[in-house]
Structure 1
Amino acid sequence: MSMHGGDGTRAPAGWGDGLRFAFGTLSVLRVRVDRWDRSAAARAMVAAPVVGLVLGALAAGAGAPVAWRAGGLLGAVAAVGALATLTRGLHLDGLADVADGLGSGKPAEDALRIMKQSDIGPFGVLTLLLVLLAQIAALAGQFDASPARGALAVLTSAVAARCALAWGCRRSVPAARPGGLGAMVASTVPLAAALASSAAAALVLAALGLADGWSVLRLPAAVAVGLGCSWLLLRRCVRRFDGITGDVLGALAETAATGSLLALALLG
Structure 2
Amino acid sequence: MPDSWRLALGTLTVLRVPPPRAVTPVVAGRAMLLAPLAVLPLGLVVAVVGLVGARLELPPLVVALLAVGALAAGSRALHWDGLSDVVDGLTASYDPARSLEVMKSGTSGPAGVVATVVVLGVQAAALAPLLTTARGALVAGLLVCVSRAALGWCCLRGVPGARPDGLGAAYVGTVGPLPAAAVWLVAALLLTLTAGWSGLLAAVLAALVVAALLHRVVRRLGGVTGDVLGAAVELSLAALLVGVLVGGPPSGGVG
User: Is the 1:163–1:227 Cα contact (8 Å) retained in structure 2?
Assistant: no
Length-normalised TM-score, structure 1? 0.87
Return the alpha-carbon distance in structure 1 between the equivalents of residues 40 and 192 of structure 2. 13
Deviations for 1:19-46, whole angstroms, at most 9, x for unmatched residues? 2111111111111122222221011011
User: Is the 1:51–1:162 Cα contact (8 Å) retained in structure 2?
Assistant: no
User: Is the 1:112–1:241 Cα contact (8 Å) retained in structure 2?
Assistant: yes
The total of aligned residue pairs comes to: 246
Is 1:57 equivalent to 2:37 in the alignment? no
Return the alpha-carbon distance in structure 2 between the equivalents of residues 67 and 77 of structure 1. 13
Residue in structure 1 matched with residue 84 of structure 2 by the alignment? 96
Q: Secondary structure at the match of 2:34?
A: helix
User: Deviation at 1:135?
Assistant: 0.6
Residue in structure 1 matched with residue 218 of structure 2 by the alignment? 238
1:255 aligns with one of 216, 220, 235: 235
Deviations for 1:122-141, whole angstroms, at most 9, x for unmatched residues? 00000001111111111112
Return the alpha-carbon distance in structure 2 between the equivalents of residues 32 and 199 of structure 1. 31
Residue in structure 1 matched with residue 27 of structure 2 by the alignment? 40
User: Deviation at 1:197?
Assistant: 1.2
Residue in structure 2 matched with residue 112 of structure 1 by the alignment? 100
User: Is the 1:173–1:186 Cα contact (8 Å) retained in structure 2?
Assistant: yes
User: Deviation at 1:150?
Assistant: 3.1
Residue in structure 1 matched with residue 3 of structure 2 by the alignment? 17
Return the alpha-carbon distance in structure 2 between the equivalents of residues 78 and 147 of structure 1. 17
When structure 1 is superposed on structure 2, of 216-225 and 32-41 the one drifting more is: 216-225
Is 1:128 equivalent to 2:116 in the alignment? yes
When structure 1 is superposed on structure 2, of 196-205 and 111-120 the one drifting more is: 196-205
User: Deviation at 1:172?
Assistant: 1.0
Q: After superposition, where does 1:100-249 map in structure 2 within 5 Å?
A: 100-144=88-132, 146-156=133-143, 158-207=144-193, 209=194, 215-249=195-229
Return the alpha-carbon distance in structure 2 between the equivalents of residues 191 and 265 of structure 1. 29
Return the alpha-carbon distance in structure 2 between the equivalents of residues 151 and 64 of structure 1. 9
Return the alpha-carbon distance in structure 2 between the equivalents of residues 228 and 171 of structure 1. 18
Q: Secondary structure at the match of 2:137?
A: helix
Return the alpha-carbon distance in structure 2 between the equivalents of residues 136 and 150 of structure 1. 13
Q: After superposition, where does 1:76-95 map in structure 2 within 5 Å?
A: 76-95=64-83
Residue in structure 1 matched with residue 246 of structure 2 by the alignment? 266
User: Is the 2:80–2:230 Cα contact (8 Å) retained in structure 1?
Assistant: yes
Amino acid at match of 2:108: I
- Between the two proteins, what is the percent identity of the paired residues? 40
Gaps of 5+ in 1: 1-14, 210-214
Residue in structure 2 matched with residue 5 of structure 1 by the alignment? none
Return the alpha-carbon distance in structure 2 between the equivalents of residues 222 and 186 of structure 1. 26
Return the alpha-carbon distance in structure 1 between the equivalents of residues 196 and 246 of structure 2. 16
Length-normalised TM-score, structure 2? 0.91
Return the alpha-carbon distance in structure 1 between the equivalents of residues 79 and 175 of structure 2. 20
Cα RMSD, aligned residues only: 1.5
User: Deviation at 1:243?
Assistant: 0.5
Deviations for 1:46-100, whole angstroms, at most 9, x for unmatched residues? 1111123332112211232113311321221121111101100000000000010
Instruction: Give structure 1 regions of 4+ aligned residues with deviation exceeding 6 angstroms.
Output: none
Return the alpha-carbon distance in structure 1 between the equivalents of residues 179 and 87 of structure 2. 29
Gaps of 5+ in 2: 249-255
User: Is the 2:198–2:245 Cα contact (8 Å) retained in structure 1?
Assistant: no
Q: Secondary structure at the match of 1:266?
A: coil
Return the alpha-carbon distance in structure 2 between the equivalents of residues 102 and 58 of structure 1. 33
Return the alpha-carbon distance in structure 2 between the equivalents of residues 148 and 74 of structure 1. 19
User: Is the 2:43–2:140 Cα contact (8 Å) retained in structure 1?
Assistant: no
User: Deviation at 1:217?
Assistant: 3.2
Q: Secondary structure at the match of 2:246?
A: helix
